[in-house]
Amino acid sequence: MPIDLDRVGGLLLGALPEVVLTGWAMLLLLDAAWRHREPAAQRRAGILALAGIALAAAATIWLWAAGARTVGLATSLAVDPFRFAVDLIVLLAAALAVLLSMDYLEREAIRIPEYYVLILFAAVGMMLLAGGEDLFVIFLGLELMSVSVYVLSGIDRRSPVGGEAALKYFLLGAFASAFLLYGIALVYGATGTTKLGMIAAQIGPLHLATHPMLLAGLGLLLIGFAFKVAAVPFHMWTPDVYDGAPTPVTGFMSTAVKAAAFAALLRVLLEGFVGVHAVWEQVIWWLAAVTMVVGNLIALAQRSVKRMLAYSSIAHAGYLLTALVPGSTAGAAAFLFYLLFYTLMTVGAFAILAVKGRAGERDVLIDDLAGLAESNPWLAFAMTVCMLSLLGFPGTAGFIGKWYILVSATGGGYGVLAVILVLTSVVSAGYYLPVVMAMYMKPRSHDLAHAGVLASRLAGATLVVMVAALLVFGLWPNAALAAARAGSHAFLPAGIPTIAAPVPVAN
C-alpha cells in the first residue's frame, strides 16, 4: 500500500497509530479533568487507556499487514516494518504499565487519573521517536516522551524521594536534550538538511566523511542518545530515578523509553550516517563494552532488588548497543528480538517487586525474598523465570536473544565484543541467582514475612502471560525471529536508494 507523505491525507494515514493514540489521550484528558473526583475515576481512566492502546496497536498491525510504504523518499516519518515492530513493543510496554498500575495506584493511594494520560502521551512521543525520518521529528518525539516521563517519575507528590528523582531526571535530561539539539544544528550546518535520507546522500558527494562539523554533530547526537539509553558514563541518573519512581513507572521507563531511544539511534546510524560507519562503530563499541562491564560489576554490590534491577538495565543497554555495532540488518533483527523479550522479563520482575513491597519498594532487599517459594510458589516461579531470562539461561527467550546478538556481533567481525558479552553475562549470575537462591533455599525470617503478598487477578493474569511467553519463545522462537527479521528489512540497501545512489550536487 503506497502512501504519499507529501499529501495531508497520506501523512495522516502514515501516522495513523500516533493520530489515534493522540486523539484518544486528549479525550481521556478531558474525561479525567471532568470526573476526577469520582471514586471509580482512576480505574475507569486505566480501562479507557487500555482501549486507546488497543486501537493504536490495531492501526499499526493493519498498516504492517497491508504492506504500507512511502512513495519516494520518506521525508518526515518512516513507514516501514521496523517502525511498526518498535511501535508494537512500545504499546506492549505501555499496556503492561497500565495493567500493573491499576491495583498499585489504589494500594498506594495515588489518586491521579491523569497518570494514564501521561502514559499515552509518553507512548506517542516514543512512537514518533522510533519512526522519525527527520532529526527534528526525532527531537520532538524525544521531548514529548521525556516531559511525560519526568512527571510520571514524581507522580507521587507525597514522596520526597520521588520528587528528587523527577528533579534529577529533568535537569540531566535537559542537558542531554541540549547536546542533541546542538548536534542537530551542526549536522544541518554540514549537510544543509535534517532528513536522514538526504544526510546519507550528501556525505559521499560532498566528501563529508572527515568533515569536523559533521563529526562533531554526530558526536553530540551520540551523547544525547547515550543519556536516554543509560549507557556508561551517561548512566548516573538511572539508579536514583528508577529507585524513586513508582515501580510500574520504573518498569515502563526501563523498557519503553529504552526501546524508543535505541530504535531512534539505530535508525539515525543506519540511515543517516551509514557512510561514516567506520567512525561511529568505534564509539558504539567502547560504549557497549564499558556499559556491560560497569553495569554488571556495580549490580553485584547491590542488596536492594530495585537498585539491582536498575543497574541490570544499564548492563542490558550494553547488550543492545552490541547489536548496533555491526551496522547490519542482522544486528537490527537481533535488536528487535531482544528488545521484545527484555520488555517482558523486566516488566515482569518489577511487577513481582511491586506485589512484594510497599511505598515505592525501595526497602525490599534480596534477603527479604527468603522463603517466598514456600508461602507463594507461583510468584517465586515467575520471579525465577524473569531472573533466568535476564541472565540468558537456556530454555528462556533471554537466551535466544543474547545468542542472536552474539551471532550478529561475530558475523560482523566483532569477536572481542562478543567475548565481553559472554563474560559479563556470566558475571550477572552473581546477582540474578542469589534472588532465586533466597526464594528457594533460605527460610523465612518469621512466619508473617510474606503476609499479604498476593497478586491481584489482573496482575496475576498479566504475569501468567508474560512468563508463558518467555518460556514458549525460549523453546520455539521461530515466529518471533521471523518477525524480527521482517522488521530489519527496512534497512536493506534496496529500501534506501538514497544511500546506494547519492544525488549529484550541482556545481
197-209: pLDDT as tens digits: 888 888 877 777 7
- Apex 389 CA angle, 383 and 391, nearest 5: 105
Closest CA to 318 of 300, 297, 302, 333: 297
* 336 within 8 A of 240, measured Cβ to Cβ: no
Residue 163 is inside which H or E element, if any?
A: helix 160-191
Residue 507 resides in a domain: no
Residue 299 resides in a domain: yes
The distance between the two most distant Cα atoms of the chain, rounded to a whole number of Å, is 83
Alpha-helix runs per DSSP H in 325-445: 329-356, 372-375, 377-391, 397-411, 415-441
Q: Which is it for the CA torsion 341, 256, 438, 458, positive or negative?
A: negative
pLDDT band (50, 70, 90) for residue 22 = very high
* Rounded Cα–Cα distance for residues 36 and 228 (Å): 33
Q: What is the pLDDT of residue 120?
A: 93
Q: Which residue has the cell 502514515?
A: 14
* pTM of structure: 0.87
Q: What is the pLDDT of residue 494?
A: 43
Running DSSP on this structure, what letter comes out for residue 112? -
- For 220-274, the DSSP string reads HHHHHHHHHTT-TTS-THHHHHHHHS-HHHHHHIIIIIHHHHHHHHHHIIIIISG
Above 70 in pLDDT, residue 448? no
Residue 109 resides in a domain: yes
* 47 within 8 A of 74, measured Cβ to Cβ: no
pLDDT band (50, 70, 90) for residue 447 = low
- Apex 222 CA angle, 414 and 74, nearest 5: 95
Closest CA to 303 of 237, 244, 364: 364
Residue 3 is inside which H or E element, if any?
A: strand 2-3
Of 363 and 131, more confident: 131
Q: Which residue has the cell 493522540?
A: 22
Q: Which residue has the cell 479507557?
A: 48
Q: What is the pLDDT of residue 38?
A: 65
pLDDT band (50, 70, 90) for residue 53 = very high
pLDDT digits (tens, 9 = 90+) for 265-283: 988 888 888 878 888 888 8
How far is Cα of residue 403 from the mean position of the Cα atoms in its chain?
20
Average pLDDT over residues 23-48: 81
* 94 within 8 A of 53, measured Cβ to Cβ: yes
Residue 96 is inside which H or E element, if any?
A: helix 81-107
Q: What is the pLDDT of residue 503?
A: 37
pLDDT digits (tens, 9 = 90+) for 419-435: 999 999 999 988 899 88
- Cβ–Cβ contacts within 10 Å for residue 27, how many? 13
Quick one: CA torsion of 430, 436, 437, 441, rounded to 10 degrees? 180
pLDDT digits (tens, 9 = 90+) for 65-81: 888 777 766 678 888 88
Average pLDDT over residues 132-160: 87
Q: What is the pLDDT of residue 302?
A: 85
What's the N-to-C CA distance of the chain in angstroms? 38
Residue 357 resides in a domain: yes
Residue 505 resides in a domain: no
Residue 506 resides in a domain: no
Count of structural domains within the chain: 1
Of 496 and 34, more confident: 34
Instruction: Look up residue 346 and give its three cell numbers.
Output: 523486566
Instruction: Look up residue 499 and give its three cell numbers.
Output: 544511500
Q: What is the pLDDT of residue 303?
A: 84
- Cβ–Cβ contacts within 10 Å for residue 226, how many? 24
Angle between helices 329-356 and 258-267 (to 10 degrees): 170
Residue 356 resides in a domain: yes
pLDDT digits (tens, 9 = 90+) for 318-333: 999 998 888 778 888 8
Q: What is the pLDDT of residue 357?
A: 63
* Rounded Cα–Cα distance for residues 484 and 460 (Å): 28
Above 60 in pLDDT, residue 500? no
Q: What is the pLDDT of residue 171?
A: 86
Compute the chain's Rg from CA coordinates: 22
Instruction: For the chain, give the mean pLDDT.
Output: 84
Q: Is 24 helix (H, G, I), strand (E, B) or coil?
A: helix
Residue 188 resides in a domain: yes
pLDDT band (50, 70, 90) for residue 91 = very high
* 111 within 8 A of 84, measured Cβ to Cβ: no
CA–CA distance from 447 to each of 370, 371, 443, 452 (Å)? 11, 10, 10, 12
pLDDT digits (tens, 9 = 90+) for 216-261: 999 999 998 998 888 888 888 888 888 888 888 888 988 888 889 9
Give the range of the structural domain holding residue 202, as residue numbers without chain letter: 2-500
